[in-house]
Amino acid sequence: MMEQLILIVFALGYLAITLEHTLKVDKLIPALLMMALAWAGVALGLDEFSSWFNSQHHHMMDGSDGGAIFSQMGHEERSHVMEETLLYHFGKTAEILIFLMGAMTIVEIIDHFDGFATIQQFIRTHKKRSLLWIMAILSFVLSAIIDNLTATIVLISILRKLVKSSEDRLWFAGLIVISANAGGAWSPIGDVTTTMLWIGKKVSTAKLVEYLIVPSLVCMIIPVWIASFLKPFRGTFDAPESEGQQNPYGPRMLYIGLGLIVFVPIFKTVTHLPPYIGMMLSLAIFSLISEVITNRHFSLQAVNRQGNQTEGSAHDRSPTFKALRKIEMPSILFFLGILMTVAALESLGMVYNFGSAVQSAMDNRVFVVLLGVASAIIDNVPLVAASMGMFHDGMDAGVWHFIAYAAGTGGSLLIIGSAAGVVAMGMERISFFWYLKKISWLAAVGYLSGAAVYLLLNT
């Protein structure tokens, strides 16, 4: 009975997340609600459950591995197993969240010094077709380093300064979403779902790049190539002259910040420590550099004003503290809610049993392709979290890389299917049906082409 109630809680919470814009309730709220209610259901119904999945060792506690049998345990033993499982899942979830918070803070510090304005200097064209290719390539590369969501925000902000026509910008923004999602799929730090697979030791950095760089490139190049022949990308545009004076530290902070983010996978490979340790090291180094520059800047101001400057709080002028105030805490808590809810379902063996049923009903490759399509309709984070409990292949098995590709790029099929799409929707007021009519078919061609290339190269 309690298992059914937990499934109902999950279904209703998932529905509320999917209908976020219709209900006008932030998806954070149902995510946290269903997490708390799901685990409360697990605790209250602990004595009636007949099976339990040991996530740490990836097997059902039914005695098949020679270990303890959950159905034969007393209440105290079951409580102990539940506490251990909860702590294990929270630790794994915290690794992802701390990693994301570190990356977000570095990006906000770069923005504090107006570092992303440096990218605008690379754009020296007045042809729409050339601008499309420049934006697509920048989006593809940048999203692999600072994640697809941030890359989309940065490039649409630059686009606003270059293209006056809001109608033209809609088309550019649509192709930026496709390119950003494709770029995020082949990098361990380019998309939340890929980061989950990387931190969960399902994929390694080297193999992820090796297997997915070509399919991801195909996923980006084909839609952009087709779009370059369409009417909206013909002709020229009048770019306004650059405004104001750029922060002199901007370019330097951009290159240092991006370099420190790229350093994280290298640090993990060398030390074999969890990725969040490397991200915290990069954040500490970057924060130190930013504090030195800021303090030096304020000291020079004090000298220039002959000591008459009223000194504010060190926190008020600290780039690190300003960045920490601006990071997306609602997104962090949303991921917490989703991942811990799926953990509750996994602990009861539901995810394992569903995965076994799927694998017996259809080929894994067909399932993963459908998973990518589903990620355009419902959030890809719980889909990938569930798939991590469904499949039990070893590290760098083909199914994990295919899941990384499908979940990362499949969200481009609909404007609400990815974080990059949702932010573009808000920034440029792209309607759901405009994107469905004008851009979705391009995204579908790219997604299926990339999937075909992946299967061709890895069969």
Q: Greater confidence, 331 or 224?
A: 224
The two three-digit tokens of residue 124, written as one number: 């020296």
* Alpha-carbon span 96 to 99, nearest angstrom: 5
CA-closest candidate to residue 197, choices 391, 379, 53, 355: 391
Range in 138-152, 183-197, 231-245 the model is least confident about: 231-245
Q: How many CB atoms lie within 10 A of CB 206?
A: 12
Cβ atoms of 172 and 132 closer than 8 Å: yes
Range in 199-203, 260-264, 310-314 the model is least confident about: 310-314
Helix, coil or strand: residue 260: helix
Cβ atoms of 174 and 133 closer than 8 Å: no
pLDDT at 371 over 70: yes
Q: Where are the domains of the chain?
A: 99-326
* Alpha-carbon span 397 to 383, nearest angstrom: 18
Name the pLDDT band for 444 (thresholds 50, 70, 90): very high
Helix, coil or strand: residue 441: helix
Q: In the chain, pLDDT over 70 holds for what percent of residues?
A: 91
**pLDDT value at residue 298:** 58
* Alpha-carbon span 48 to 65, nearest angstrom: 22
* Alpha-carbon span 110 to 104, nearest angstrom: 10
**pLDDT value at residue 310:** 46
Length reported for the chain: 459
Range in 86-90, 132-136, 300-304, 393-397 the model is least confident about: 300-304
Mean pLDDT of 58-87: 81
pLDDT at 327 over 60: yes
Cβ atoms of 51 and 43 closer than 8 Å: no
pTM for the model stands at 0.75
Range in 158-162, 196-200, 261-265 the model is least confident about: 158-162
60 - beta bridge partners? Answer: 53
pLDDT at 89 over 90: no
Residue carrying structure tokens 């390119």? 179
Residue carrying structure tokens 């930013």? 290
Mean pLDDT of 297-303: 56
Q: Greater confidence, 361 or 253?
A: 253
Helix, coil or strand: residue 308: coil
Cα four-point dihedral sign 165, 227, 258, 423: positive
69 - beta bridge partners? Answer: 62
Percent composition of the chain: helix, strand, coil (DSSP 3-state, to 5): 75, 0, 25
Cβ atoms of 52 and 58 closer than 8 Å: no
CA angle 283, 108, 333 (to 5 degrees): 85
pLDDT averaged over the chain?
Answer: 84
* Alpha-carbon span 380 to 371, nearest angstrom: 9
Helix, coil or strand: residue 69: strand
Name the pLDDT band for 302 (thresholds 50, 70, 90): low
Q: How many CA atoms lie within 13 A of 84 on its CB side?
A: 12
pLDDT tens readout for residues 347-370: 888 877 777 777 778 888 888 998
62 - beta bridge partners? Answer: 69
Mean pLDDT of 188-198: 87
